[in-house]
A and B are shown apart, each in its own frame.
Chain A
Amino acid sequence: MTRPNRAGLALATVLLAGTGLLVQAGLRDTLSYYRTPAELAADPDAGAGRTRLSGVVVPGSIRHDRGQTVFRLAADGHEITVRQQGVPPETFRAGQDAVVEGVLGPDGVFRSDQVLVRHDNEYRPAGATSPGTAR
């Protein structure tokens, strides 16, 4: 009785395929978007592949070394040194949360090629209180 129109069917197929791809590709890493320094330190397989690490950028730990940015990420009393290839985003600063993506080396240094700056859900004008120290 219904003759489904061809463009509509094609569109529905593309959308279904898109959904399938997203679910397949996305959910693998998505549901645990990052790991903490403690989890990486405790995991013997941590150096096996690319992963994401999140923590607070330790104040005073940022230095620049041969085109790389070196800093430490800390959470729950554990710290991991990160060597970042390239320049982090402008919003990157000590005391802020960051997520780095890369591989943990055998020397315990995390070699990252992408820094994402996390920001919290608190909003205040400049100069109200010292930002970053709240957490």
Chain B
Amino acid sequence: MLLVLLRFNSLTVRHSGIIVGVGPAQSGSGAVRTADTDDRPGVARTPRAGDRRAAADRRSLGWLAGGLATAAAAAGLLIAPPDAVQGDAQRLMYLHVPAAWTAYLAFAAVLASSLGYLATRDPCWDRRARVAAELGVGLTTLTIALGALWGRAVWGAWWAWDPRLVSTVLLLLAYAGYLAARRVLGEGRGVPATHRVGGPAAVVGVAGFALVPLVHFSVVWWRSLHQPATILAPDRPPIDPLMAAALLLSLAAFTTTATWLFLRRLAALEPTPGGSVPTAAPNPVETR
């Protein structure tokens, strides 16, 4: 979460020299206003998210993510040794664990953005919460799919009614429900509906985060088939240094990639300068 938000802040701060005066421009252009349109000047758009410097920064971040992913793939597939007990199936750890970690991070970003929205009522925070939730849902799905593969290879079962597995599916359902609720409340139908959607969504976005510690500590609080954490364990159990290096590299690659996707999607969801909110995700033009 911190990384995502810090990264975002650093981008906005660095480009603070360019001011996009959205509020007055909007009223001047004669855009159709509804009761839901935000009237305060300068709050509808994420400051400076659409300018060229920010786009260039996003591209650099994309290249960094690509480089880290390549290095992580090499480390995980070629350099790290196979596990003594699990064999090559253990290499799924280098995808499964970072996917789960990045999903936690995304849901933490939903929490922070929802709190930001509740404090400021600024639609920028609402969009951040939405994009983070979309990322989190995708990553949780990926985590479950990869975990099923790993489980089949090592436990001998795709699925088990185990506290970790069940709570992770609950987490997925909660945030999928969050996104569904946003649609039901009227997001993305051409009418700026931020305030109708944002308030209830932010409450759900804050409450939903309670599931994250439940998922993470499920293997400690209850009896589980799932193994407990290794890297995040208080007394770190033995892990081969090369395996740990591959895992950390992959964690960095996943985090960077998720941050890059977050910023791209956020830029794509920016309201157009005319004042209308895009009905669906517009094609993210490469220069943005």
Contact = CB atoms under 8 A, between A and B. Distances in A.
Interface string A14-28: 011011001101110
B23 interface: no
B237 A124 contact: no
B160 A91 contact: no
Interface stretch (B42-50, B127-135, B218-226): B218-226
A98 B50 CA distance: 55
B155 A26 contact: no
Interface of A: 1-2, 4-5, 8-9, 11-12, 15-16, 18-19, 22-23, 25-27, 29-34, 54, 88-89, 91-92, 96, 99, 114-128, 131-132
Contacts of A118: 155, 225, 227
B237 A31 contact: no
A39 B174 CA distance: 35
Interface of B: 81-87, 90, 93, 153-157, 160-163, 166, 169-170, 173-174, 176-177, 180-181, 183-186, 189, 196, 222-225, 227-230, 233, 237-240, 242-243
Contact of B237 (A16, A120, A125): A120
A126 B156 contact: no
Given A8-B183, A12-B184, A23-B170, A33 B225 contact: yes
A119 B86 contact: yes
Given A4-B184, A124-B238, A128-B84, A33 B173 contact: no
Contact of B81 (A1, A22, A125): A125
Contacts of B233: 121
B229 A121 contact: yes
Contact of B156 (A1, A26, A34, A88): A88
Given A8-B180, A19-B170, 13 more contacts: A5-B183, A12-B177, A30-B161, A34-B223, A96-B85, A118-B155, A119-B86, A121-B228, A123-B93, A124-B238, A126-B83, A128-B84, A131-B84
A5 B193 CA distance: 14
B230 A123 contact: yes
Contacts of A29: 161
A33 to B, nearest CB: 5
Contacts of A89: 154-156
A90 B127 CA distance: 48
Nearest to A125: B81
Given A22-B169, A125-B83, A126-B82, A33 B180 contact: no
Contacts of B196: 1-2
- 8 smallest beta-carbon distances between A and B, as pairs: A89-B156, A125-B81, A8-B184, A26-B166, A131-B84, A8-B183, A121-B227, A126-B84
A11 B180 contact: yes
16 contacts: A4-B185, A5-B183, A8-B183, A12-B181, A19-B170, A19-B173, A26-B161, A30-B166, A31-B163, A89-B155, A91-B85, A115-B156, A119-B85, A119-B154, A124-B239, A125-B242
Contact of B180 (A1, A15, A31): A15
B46 to A, nearest CB: 26
Contacts of B163: 30-31, 33
